[in-house]
Amino acid sequence: MEEVIFEFLIFGIILGITEDLIAIKFAAGVPITFEVIGIVILIAIPFAIIGEIIFDRIDFATILQNIFEKKKK
């Protein structure tokens, strides 16, 4: 199980870095330099960790189902 979490974490970091670099290039028009890549990596890693460790372990479907069932009563 820990191997799967680690694989998703690595994939999340790589995907986060890639999408951030694409967004910076197209939205801001800033040239991609090693400094920009370093900043993006520093920002992407914590969000990937938070996404993998916290949000992927929460069953949002069950939580939302419980909320909506309470509102119907």
Report whether pLDDT(24) > 70. Answer: yes
**Is residue 48 classed exposed, middle or buried when 0-12, 13-18 and 19+ CB atoms within 10 A define those classes?**
buried
Task: Report residue 73 as tokens.
Answer: 């009563």
pLDDT at site 35: 95
- Name which residue leads in pLDDT, 62 or 17: 17
pLDDT at 39 over 90: yes
- Give, rounded to a whole angstrom, the gap between the first and last alpha carbons of the chain: 39
How many CB atoms are closer than 10 A to CB 52?
A: 19
Answer for the pair 41, 17: CB distance below 8 angstroms, yes or no: yes
* DSSP classification of residue 30: -
Q: Is 80 exceeded by the pLDDT of residue 20?
A: yes
